[in-house]
Structure 1
Amino acid sequence: MALTPAQSARYARHIVLKDMGGAGQQRLSAAHVAIVGAGGLGVPVIAYLAGAGIGRLTIIDPDSVSLSNLSRQVIYSDADLDTPKAQAAARFAARLNPEIAPSARVESVTSDNAGTLLAGADLVVEGTDNFAAKRAVAKVCADLEIPLVTGALGPFDGSITVLAPFLKREDGSHWPDFAALYPVDPTPEDSPPCELVGVLNVLPGIVGSMMANEAIKYLAGFGEPLLGKLLIYSARTGESRIMSYR
């Protein structure tokens, strides 16, 4: 589908960008992305995917905006307090870019409903702090052959990978799945919530922006996605490192 004159003006910097061009922008505008989690990681993903012109955004989150969210989840304001995050985020995305169609689902993702919530998406981005939800999303994405960008946070560090175990490498083997990276769920002691240990306010913005970049790369068809690779960013040092896993 050709871009309209308004879209051509809005996405002019993408259209002149080498390796993106009009064809890449058309792929973004035709895409449907489901975002699981509208918190620390989901907020920058929503903002940058909306700005990039992803045609349809389905935003899934069961929680409401609280005062402690506002220092790092910067698409929300005091006016959004006690509002479901999915609804407030969808309104933000629509204001930012009237060319797209955001929608909200105010519910938790579980093994029972993940298939229904994610069916039809071209790509899923997951940034929850719930490991059961992470595993349920990864399983459904693998079963439905939907690429998944998934991320996690610690107090001063974050990690990102891309999962597409239904795709094959050049040697004919499949790219690794979620279980290759997380064979067992972490204990609460190994992965305490940010309510207990804290999180640096800029960290979700940095890692979430990297997650949005992975989604845009994959959908537009340029660059090299983090398949079989885990990117780890440290806010203490400003350094990133990449480790491979099989």
Structure 2
Amino acid sequence: MMKITYLGQAGLLFDNGKIKIMTDPYLSNSVVRVNPRNYRRVPADESFLKIVPDVLVLTHNHLDHTDPDTLVHYICGEKSVTVLAPEAAFEEARKIGNKNQNYVKFNRHTEWTQDGVKFTSVLAAHSDPHPIGVIIDDGEKKYYITGDTLYNTDIFGDIPDGIDVLFMPVNGLGNNMNKTDAARFAKKINAKKVVPYHVGMFDDMTAEDLDVENKVIPTIYKEIEL
């Protein structure tokens, strides 16, 4: 059974006892150096920096998703981590990490299978030139992580039926869906559960008023109750 922990912003940790998967971990305060308004509202829990994943998914090359201050803890050691990242994030990860890692250029429509889990790269619409979403299929459930994205009708052709859990941004800033469009998006995907995120780290927003009946509001550093 897959245990999923919310790491804040767009970060997730998946763990089924056989494989650990991290997506877009941001466990530093590096963004504040670029934009002082975007300081962390929630302190980083550095205990998660000690959990080196088997697979690291980076959806695009923005600092709160591909963060050198965080990634140095995961891809500079002796353990070989599979890094799944699209074009720009792929190049950035290779600059940060050492040669022990398995860097996979994970552009749209690419598939990768490891330890019984299949990863599929799908379209996202964002300000990075090569953004992706990812579908994680562990054989029991399909998890769709949109990555940072706007509502774009081309996305739906990439998404299979039977999504169990949808993770999506709802902050409405920086080329992300706002809550109105996120609700439309969720209804179109028709997942069994919807986890809104990408709020509360750099702002005072919450996802409580997202108009989706089957939403599950995550708590940072806690297992998501699905």
Question: The TM-score by the shorter chain falls in which range?
Answer: 0.3 to 0.5
How high is the TM-score relative to the length of structure 1?
0.32
Structure scoring higher RCO (CA < 8 A, sep ≥ 6) equals 1
Q: Which has the larger radius of gyration?
A: 1
More strand by share: 2
More helix by share: 1
